[in-house]
Amino acid sequence: MRSIGELARDSGLGVSALRFYDRAGVLVPAWVDPVSGYRWYEPGQLAEARLLARLRRAGMPLADIRLVLASWSGADTDLVRKLLGAHLRRLEQGLSDARGEFSALRALLDHRENVMTPLRNATVRLSVAAPELAAVLDAVRFAASTDPELPMLGGILFDIEGESLRAVATDRYRMALARVGVTGHDGPRVQVIVPTPLADAMRALLDGEGPVGLSLDGDRVTLEAGDRQVAGQCLDHDFPDYRRLLPPAGGRRTVVVEVAAFRQALETGPVRSGEAGAHDLSVLRVADGGAVTLCADVDEADVHENPNHVAVNREFLLDALAAGARDRLVLEFGAPTAPIVIRRPDDEGAFSLLMPVRLED
């Protein structure tokens, strides 16, 4: 007999996934301990679990998987072949439909690019306090993307409007935004993407207390701090409209956490190990009394459906806590699939978003 942990290890299915398939009647353990509730599997069920893992990776619906497993070891292989063939045709049709939609989207993008003329020749001269600009860069730098396939996210957006500069960074899974007041700009809104190496070089100059000069001249940005200067080219891309990614106001639960204690709980608490190369996940439980705890063992159905449970990338959450730079931070929770918001209690203009992670079914 194999324990559920051993079957998970040998089959490539997670323990939570095996529990789910048990409840769904897809792969039922041979014996369940009546006292502990622990699941045990016969040796022959390993092959079924590996087959199940393959079918799920291929995206086959559970209803069809149930029939495939029921017919696999029997004489009715014709049914298995028909189910596999039908699913393959669905995948091919879906791919064909997706190609058609993407072709239409590319045509729309080509049209938009031909009629839009982005502002890339603006000349702006700003003055900003060095410590405040340093704090803004520190608050968002961790969320910048390193994906070479998405070069438009490989920097920090400087969004200048009126007497405000918003710095924004995102890698799709998280986003950070911070604001600093500036003087010297009364023209139209200007946006440039400062590549992360240049942003890091700017941050290295911000070690003083006085004001610094920030200049934009077309696609070139310059930071002057006393007799020191750093300059470089902005990224020749368009940043996504981050305002559309912000969560709606209201309807969210807020929890104040002591950062040091919460960080220690995350670093030493239970995690769900992802597949090879994946990050560890922490499952958070939001209590009605306004506390956040880590779950050692919770079914994935609870995480998917219970608004009090949310699974997150532990490393990303630790990064957000560090970037918050406060002893206390406010966590805002919405629906299980909505992003978590991490705010500073004393600064509404600086916050980060962290997308939840859906556990394997």
Domains in the chain: boundaries: 2-87, 123-243, 247-354
Q: Are strands 281-286 and 340-344 parallel, antiparallel or unpaired?
A: unpaired
pLDDT beyond 70 at 188: yes
| CB contact burial 134-164 (16+ within 10 A = b; e otherwise) | bbbbbbbbbbbbeeeeeeebbbbbbbbeeee
Percent of the chain with pLDDT over 90: 47
Q: Nearest Cα to 196, choosing from 136, 145, 231?
A: 145
Lowest mean pLDDT segment, chosen from 196-210, 231-245, 269-283? 269-283
| Structure tokens given for 202 | 């700017």
pLDDT beyond 80 at 302: no
Residue 345's pLDDT is 92
pLDDT digits (tens, 9 = 90+) for 65-100: 988 888 887 666 888 889 999 999 999 999 988 888
Q: Which CATH class is domain 2-87?
A: mainly alpha
CATH 3.10.150.10 given to domain 247-354 = yes
Lowest mean pLDDT segment, chosen from 37-41, 82-86, 189-193, 283-287? 283-287
Fold of 123-243: DNA Polymerase III; Chain A, domain 2 (3.10.150)
Locate tokens 């970037």: which residue?
A: 323
pLDDT digits (tens, 9 = 90+) for 109-159: 776 665 544 445 668 899 999 999 999 999 999 999 999 999 989 999 999
How confident is residue 274, by pLDDT bands cut at 50, 70 and 90? low
Please give the average per-residue pLDDT across 330-345, as a whole number. 88
How confident is residue 361, by pLDDT bands cut at 50, 70 and 90? very low
Please give the average per-residue pLDDT across 46-58, as a whole number. 92
Please give the average per-residue pLDDT across 216-220, as a whole number. 88
Q: Nearest Cα to 224, choosing from 152, 99, 126, 110?
A: 126
Please give the average per-residue pLDDT across 216-236, as a whole number. 92
**307 or 358: whose pLDDT is higher?**
358
Lowest mean pLDDT segment, chosen from 128-137, 237-246, 314-323? 237-246
Tell me if 123-243 shares its fold with 247-354.
yes
Residue 183 — φ and ψ, nearest 5°? -130, 155
pLDDT beyond 90 at 317: yes
How confident is residue 174, by pLDDT bands cut at 50, 70 and 90? very high
pTM for this one?
0.72
Residue 120's pLDDT is 53
Q: Nearest Cα to 343, choosing from 357, 329, 353, 355?
A: 329
Q: What is the 3-state secondary structure (H, E, C) of the chain?
A: CEEHHHHHHHHCCCHHHHHHHHHCCCCCCCEECCCCCCEEECCCHHHHHHHHHHHHHCCCCHHHHHHHHHHHCCCCHHHHHHHHHHHHHHHHHHHHHHHHHHHHHHHHHHHHHHHCCCCCCCEEEEEEEHHHHHHHHHHHHHHCCCCCCCHHHCEEEEEEECCEEEEEEECCCEEEEEEEECECCCCCCEEEEEEHHHHHHHHHHCCCCCEEEEEEECCEEEEEECCEEEEEECCCCCCCCHHHHCCCCCCCEEEEEEHHHHHHHHHHCCCECCCCCCCCEEEEEECCCCCEEECCCCCHHHHHHCCCEEEEEHHHHHHHHHHHCCCEEEEEECCCCCCEEEEECCEEEEEEEECCCCCCC
How confident is residue 291, by pLDDT bands cut at 50, 70 and 90? confident
Residue 104's pLDDT is 85
